[in-house]
Amino acid sequence: MTIKEAAEITGISIDNLRYYERFGLFPEVPRTASGMRDYDEMSLNWIDFAMRFKRGGMSLEAIREYIQLALQGESTKPARKEILLDAKKDQEKKMAEIQESLDVINYKLDTYEQKCEPVTIEMVNAWKENQRLLKDETGPEAI
């Protein structure tokens, strides 16, 4: 199948498919006698495999390393597992940061009427007063 058809099936742009292949994100796609890419089921499987890692937050470099190691065979299992453990650690850190953000938002929502809104009003009023004082100091001729 052509690169255009592969792009339609995978939802990845033609430019990105070419880039990912050059980058080594998946094995080279078979070529026709005239040198055109000829995507087969195996190519689509490799693309899907790599994109699952990408959607999971793994860096392109880590995906490439993992796939290159996988192509070398069983002896690379420990190194591949280490890549997965590092990716897991990165995702857990991101999840903790997101959870912390969500906790702050939930707190603000839970206490909005009692705490958040009064503080916001106070800050806005202080800002307005500051603007008024600045205007008074500079006088109308500065405007």
CATH of 3-94, one of 1.20.1090.10, 2.30.40.10, 3.90.1150.10, 1.10.1660.10: 1.10.1660.10
Q: pLDDT tens-digit profile of 14-50?
A: 999 999 999 999 998 999 999 999 999 999 999 999 9
Residue with tokens 């890549």: 83
Structure tokens at 86: 């590092």
Around 64, how many Cα atoms within 13 Å sit in the side-chain half-sphere? 11
Q: Is 142 helix (H, G, I), strand (E, B) or coil?
A: helix
Note the pLDDT of residue 140.
60
Residue 44, Cβ density class (10 Å: 0-12 exposed, 13-18 middle, ≥19 buried): middle
Name the band, by pLDDT with cuts 50, 70 and 90, for residue 124: very high
Over residues 106-128, mean pLDDT: 87
